[in-house]
Homo-oligomer: A and B are copies of this chain.
Amino acid sequence: MVTAIVLINAQREKINSIGEQISGFGGVTEVFSVSGRFDLVVLIRLKELNGLSQLMTEKISNIEGIIRTESMVTFKLISKHDIAAMFDLGS
């Protein structure tokens, strides 16, 4: 399982329509418009890194009106159980 997060800046008047186009791509689980310096945040969950490559280089990169993307591949889901494990070694 590969999870990725993409921060997007887009042309002001196209933010909503770009968000909708991206939300229709396979593997995209959520698209948010957000406060702050970025316009959209996209959450992606796919079976393989390969699918992510395709999504980024063939689909998202072809949408008109996107100015800048900054994608992050998640290395590790940090869960609460990791803490529990730290205190629970010998029991």
Contact = CB atoms under 8 A, between A and B. Distances in A.
A4 B35 CA distance: 9
A32 B69 CA distance: 16
Interface residues of A, number: 52
A75 B4 CA distance: 12
27 contacts: A12-B61, A12-B62, A12-B63, A12-B66, A13-B62, A15-B57, A16-B57, A16-B58, A16-B78, A20-B82, A22-B78, A23-B79, A23-B82, A23-B83, A24-B83, A32-B75, A33-B56, A34-B73, A35-B71, A35-B75, A36-B73, A38-B72, A40-B78, A41-B72, A41-B74, A57-B75, A57-B76
